[in-house]
Every structure is written in C-alpha cells, then in structure tokens.
Structure 1
C-alpha cells in the first residue's frame, strides 16, 4: 500500500454523485419518553424535579458505492432492470468498443444514457488493448489516448475513470497503485484531467465459467469486515466492484444483495 493513507482522508470530496463524501445519511430514532429515561431528583418535600433525558444520537449508516465494470454486455440489461426495479444508485464503468460491438449493445448503451439515476464512467476504449495489460501500461501516452477516445466517442460528461486490470487510485492527494509498473501511466491519466477510482472490495468470479465465487451473504460479511477494520481507501464509502457479464444467469444473487441493502439499518447505497 502507498504511503499516502493520510491523503486518502482528504480525498473524499471528488467522488461522483454530487460530492458523495458530504452526503450524510442517518437513521433517526424516536426519543423514548418512558419513566426509564427520566431522572428523579427528590427532596425532603413532596415536590419532584425532573430532568429530561437527552435525545438519542443519530445513527450514521455506512455507505456503499456499487460499481459494475466492462459493460455493455449480455448481463448489463439484467443488472439495469434490477436497478430500475429497486430504485438504487449504481455506477457503470463502460468500455468504448463494447458499445459499438453489436446493435444490441448499442441499444443497451442508449438505455443507460437516458436513465438519469445512473452514473456512467470511463473504463477505457479497448480494455487495455484487449487484456494486454503489461504492454498497455508500458505506453502511458497510449493509455491516455485510449481513455480520451472512449470519453469522446461516448460523450461522457465526467472524467471519472477506472483502469482495466489494475486497482489504481488518483483522487486529489490519494495515490495508490497495486502494480507499481503502472504508476507512470496512472500519473499520466491524472495529469490529463482524469480522476481514477479503484475499489475496496471485489465480488469475485470464475473468469472461465463466469460463476460467482461468493454469495450475497458472503459479500455482506466481507463488507462488514472491511468497515470494522477501517480498510477503505477513503474515510467512509466502501467501493464494491462487480462485473455485468457475471449476472447474465446469476440474476437473483445481485438482486438479493441490493434488496438487503435497502432494508439494512447500518448500510446504505450511494
């Protein structure tokens, strides 16, 4: 991990969704007015002086920032359907070439664009030259050009980006690069005006069978553990990385996860 943990705490204000870090979501609890919460100060006379108990402190919910990478693909419409049904905020990190790969994927992209509840961000144009990660990141100027092409052809209205195959953060003073040989390319992207968002927790899957490796309940336990041990890159929101294509068949798993978040009293999605 980089020696910039302190910078992470200053970086919260640049997330999408209208400065996510300043959104205060809290669960209000009603004040209990029963006798148990009243102090009785007796004197030798019959008079009684009461002192009201202070109102309970507001309970602050932990925030989850749910992202889906690599769309549009076959799983994207199903994920989008869940999001529309449950009315929850998510972010899709889009690959430029995928939009134009077929008429159905172009139609999927068009449906995402007209949904104002979604955040649409840049996941490069070619996904690191079609997964040639080392060669891609060895050429910083080409990395910048690839992201700029995706941004311009898709008409994205923000410079929020995620690097394919790398967990990289460049958010104000927060600097983290999982594989150090990619650092120069990441710096070049930041210098070109991009804000790079990595992730705190990935919903893992088998890359051959596209089968999820853990259930929604497993993921929730992992989320609680990350919060408990303060392992997020920024002070509060926990960034969860998922991939659209995994949910072409395993539709109920992300749906169960989202339903749980809507009814959970200690977490909320932003």
Structure 2
C-alpha cells in the first residue's frame, strides 16, 4: 500500500510561520477589538518596517597625521680620491641621497680620479658642490684665509672648470656658514674671507656634526652606534644650526678600507630603520633653496 510522504503534503515551511504569524495575530487582535481600518493600516505598516534589515553605515577611518621626520644631510669632503668609489657604491646600494664637496685639483690628479668624477656626475641622487680648487692652497689654512681675493678666486676656478649645478661651497678647514640670516665662523680671523665668498654670490655651508678620523691611519674614531647616539642627542638638545636639520661631515678617503666602509653602511641602515629621519641633499637645506 502506498503511504504518503509527509513532505508531499505541502507542509508549510518554518519561514512561512515566522513571517505570517505576527501578521495573523495582529489582524485577529484588531478585528476582535474592532479597530478602525485606518489604525489597522498604521499598525501593519509599522510591523513591516520593523522587519526591514538594518543597514549599518561604514565607520569613517580616522587617519593619523604623518610623523614629521627630521632631515639628515650626509656630506663627503675632499673627493674624488681612493675612498670615493666605495662611498658611491654604498650610498647607491642603500638608495640614499648624499652630497659630495669636490676639490677641483683632485678631479684632474689621475685617470682614476677623473673616471670617478664622471661616475659621480652620472649617478642618481648625488649632488656635487664646490670645496675649492687647491684645498686652501694645499692645507695652508691660515695664509689662505688672510687673502680674501685668493679664497674667492680658488672657489671660482672650481666653479668655472667643473661647472657644478649650484653655487654651494664649503670652506676647507673652516666650519663656516653664510645662508641668509645664518652667519657663523668658527675661526674669527677667517671672517672677512668668508664674507667675501658670500658677497661673490656663493652660499657657504658648514656642518653640525663631524665623523672624526685618525689622520695617520685614516680610520674612523667613532662606530656607527656611537655616531647614532650623537645624532639623537643633537636633535633632542636642539644643537643643530637649524631645528630638525642636521648636516654631517665625513671624508671620502676614510672609507677605502672594509671596516670603515662597514661602519658607514651600518650608520645609514640604522638611520633608515629608526623611522625618525630622512636623508636629503644640501640644496634642500632651509634657506638654500631660494638662493639657487
């Protein structure tokens, strides 16, 4: 004998009862109460509104302002020389912008130095500035700065022969600054000569922190870690010439050896990793940009 399957009898689904029962209940209730037709419509509309899904508006994401990074201007003096190529390789691999202050005589001192100069000119994120032609008449600093005209002519010769794309200079053996209102001369006897450079149209940039080296062994005196401590301290104590801007002086010739090259690379990596600093070219130093 055939027995009907309960499923074949068209048993209403649970979904039907969940939607229909409230309406039936209200309708019966209203009829029992003999409510006017207008009131019935209002109540039914209210029931339908409560059945509509609630759509939540997406919450607005509040973006935190980007942290302003302090700027570091890494500069190298006295090139091109035997350490310049190593420095160039390191900064290119680490992808940081740096500035080289070039001595005119060194460019023409040998075939190798001329080739290094050509490499510097073609490199990306490298800025080339004037560090005199004779390096203060071959390190005779006192005599050199006693003759303002000689100082100006020495800088002009490098400018005329190397054709740098800017008028930024650094005085050999002197930490001096002439950038708009920023005037500083470490050795006062040199003031007249430094002033003459500014009067001739040059922008003079010194340094906030020097990476010292042993003049006999040409090895750095401070590790990358020690330099990092000094950098943090100078920023925290406001000892830079201009707030949140730090110029570091280093010398190409020091980085011809593997250990010193390692320290340079390590310092760059530590500064990048900290997230507090960014590297920049000296043409972007406050007050210089509008002088170019």
With normalisation by structure 2, the TM-score equals 0.73
d(CA) in 1 for partners of 2:134 and 2:197?
15
1:251 maps to which of 248, 261, 286: 261
Residues 91, 97 of structure 2: 8 Å contact kept: yes
Match of 1:159 among 136, 157, 167: 167
Q: Deviations over 1:7-61 (max 9, x none)?
A: xxxxxxxxxxxxxxxxxxxxxxxxxxxxxxxxxxxxxxxxxxxx98965343211
Helix, strand or coil: the match of 1:232? coil
Identify which of structures 1 and 2 has the higher relative contact order when contacts are C-alpha pairs closer than 8 Å and 6+ apart: 1
**1:93-132 matched pairs, under 5 angstroms:** 93-132=101-140
**Structure 2 match to 1:21:** none
Q: Distance in 2 between matches of 1:64 and 1:117?
A: 14
Which 4+ stretches in 1 moved above 2 angstroms? 51-58
How many residue pairs align between the two structures? Answer: 220
Judged with a 3 Å threshold, the aligned counterparts in structure 2 of structure 1 residues 57 and 188 are, in CA distance, closer, same or farther, namely same
Query: 1:63 offset after TM fit, Å?
Result: 1.0
Map residues 75-90 of structure 1 onto 2, 5 A cutoff: 75-90=83-98
The answer on 1:182 being equivalent to 2:190 is yes
Structure 1 unaligned regions, length at least 5: 1-50
Q: Can you list the C-alpha shifts for 1:60-113, whole angstroms capped at 9, x where unaligned?
A: 111110000000000000000011111110000000000000000000001001
The answer to which structure has the higher helix fraction is 2
Rg (Cα) greater in structure: 2
1:218 to 216, 223, 226: 226
What SS does structure 1 have at the residue aligned with 2:214?
A: coil
**1:227 corresponding residue in structure 2:** 235
- Alpha-carbon distance between aligned partners in 1 of 2:232 and 2:160, rounded to the nearest angstrom: 38
Which of 43, 68, 73 lines up with 1:65 in the alignment? 73
In 2, Cα distance between equivalents of 1:81 and 1:53 = 42
Distance in 1 (CA, whole Å) between partners of 2:146 and 2:169 is: 18
RMSD over aligned CA atoms reads: 1.4
Give the structure with the larger strand fraction: 1
Distance in 2 between residues matched to 1:76 and 1:119, nearest whole Å? 14
Where does the alignment leave 5 or more consecutive residues of structure 2 unmatched? Answer: 1-58, 281-292
- Tell me how far apart the structure 1 counterparts of residues 61 and 161 of structure 2 sit (CA, whole Å): 60
Query: Whole-Å Cα distance in 2 between the matches of residues 183 and 74 of structure 1?
Result: 32
Task: Look up the SS of the partner of 1:101 in the other structure.
Answer: coil
1:262 offset after TM fit, Å? 2.1
Paired residue secondary structure (2:183)? strand
* Aligned with residue 204 of structure 2, among 196, 209, 233: 196
Distance 2:75 2:194 in 1: 20
Alpha-carbon separation, structure 1, partners of 2:62 and 2:233: 32
Partner of 1:6: none
Q: TM-score, normalised by structure 1?
A: 0.79
